[in-house]
């Protein structure tokens, strides 16, 4: 399937073409997971870590700002478990739902670490609240670099040159993804996974998938009742 001849869309503009392509390819979280790990079980994270998730929900409800919903916690957790991931990179943190899902997997297996890069939202006064969903008991495996991707990612690669999973949820622009994806891919180990949120914003994810000859897995999910698309690439 060729994507490169499709229209390139300006930075930060919604792409009708990318949205249509996402709809065409989309599967559920569980089905997308089984495309990568057909013989592995898929379990909702709230069933196996109910107390931790409930306490995080209560923490977020106590805050007076809104940084979005819970994202794809179960998907992230199951991917980390099935891949036996030890070194995980995350860009974009906000409340820290994805951070917590990866850290729960690492803690469950008593291995590894998560390094997150996050630049707080412009004009936000609650910078100290970044990652507030993450409980203290999980933070020993977590490093948070409070820099934009172009400054933060080189620091990550120096301390973690081989990455099992990257969850990309930072600069949503076309140019931002086109800059970051090749650099992340270079440091992904064989069979490593690149997970990208919000791939319907522009064609950057699909163009990159074609450039590395990786068939994209597109997952339709809902965050606070808003339809979203997540893309996954496996490095062969």
> pLDDT 10s digit of each residue in the chain, 236 long?
555 444 443 444 578 999 999 999 999 999 999 999 999 999 999 999 999 989 888 887 877 666 676 678 999 999 999 999 999 999 999 888 999 999 999 999 999 999 999 976 555 555 677 888 899 999 999 999 999 999 999 999 999 999 999 999 999 999 999 999 999 999 999 999 999 999 999 999 999 999 999 999 999 998 666 789 999 999 99
Query: What is the domain extent for residue 112?
Result: 16-234
Domain-located, residue 7: no
For 158-189, how does the pLDDT look when each residue is reduced to its tens digit (9 = 90+)?
999 999 999 999 999 999 999 999 999 999 99
Domain-located, residue 2: no
What is the pLDDT at residue 98? 93
Domain-located, residue 134: yes
Domain-located, residue 77: yes
Domain-located, residue 9: no
For 202-213, how does the pLDDT look when each residue is reduced to its tens digit (9 = 90+)?
999 999 999 999
What is the pLDDT at residue 224? 60
Domain-located, residue 1: no
Classify residue 37 as exposed, middle or buried by CB count within 10 Å of its CB (0-12, 13-18, 19+): middle
CATH of the domain at 22: 3.40.50.150
Residue 193 phi/psi, 5-degree rounding, is -120, 130
For the entire predicted model, the pTM comes to: 0.90
Domain-located, residue 8: no
Let me know: does 102 contact 153? Beta carbons within 8 Å.
no
The helix-helix angle for 50-61 and 97-109 (nearest 10°) equals 160
Domain-located, residue 198: yes
Domains: count for the chain: 1
């Amino acid at each position: 399937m060729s994507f490169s001849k499709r229209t390139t869309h300006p930075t930060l503009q919604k792409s009708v073409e990318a949205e249509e392509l996402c709809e065409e390819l989309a599967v559920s979280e569980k089905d997308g997971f089984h495309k990568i790990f057909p013989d592995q079980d898929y379990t909702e994270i709230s069933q196996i870590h109910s107390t931790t998730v409930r306490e995080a929900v209560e923490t977020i409800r106590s805050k007076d700002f809104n940084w979005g919903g819970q994202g794809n916690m179960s998907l992230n957790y199951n991917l980390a478990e099935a891949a036996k991931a030890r070194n995980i990179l995350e860009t974009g943190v906000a409340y820290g739902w994805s951070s917590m899902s990866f850290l729960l997997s690492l803690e469950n297996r008593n291995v590894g670490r998560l390094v997150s890069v996050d630049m707080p939202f412009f004009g936000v006064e609650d910078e100290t609240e970044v990652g507030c969903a993450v409980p203290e008991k999980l933070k020993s495996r977590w490093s948070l670099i409070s820099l934009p991707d172009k400054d933060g990612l080189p620091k990550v690669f120096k301390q973690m040159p081989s990455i099992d999973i990257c969850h990309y949820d930072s600069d949503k622009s076309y140019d931002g993804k086109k800059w970051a994806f090749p650099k992340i891919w270079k440091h992904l180990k064989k069979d490593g996974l690149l997970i990208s949120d919000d791939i319907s914003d522009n064609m950057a994810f699909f163009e990159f998938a074609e450039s590395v000859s990786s068939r994209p897995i597109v997952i339709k999910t809902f965050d606070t009742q808003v339809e979203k698309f997540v893309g996954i690439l496996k490095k062969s």
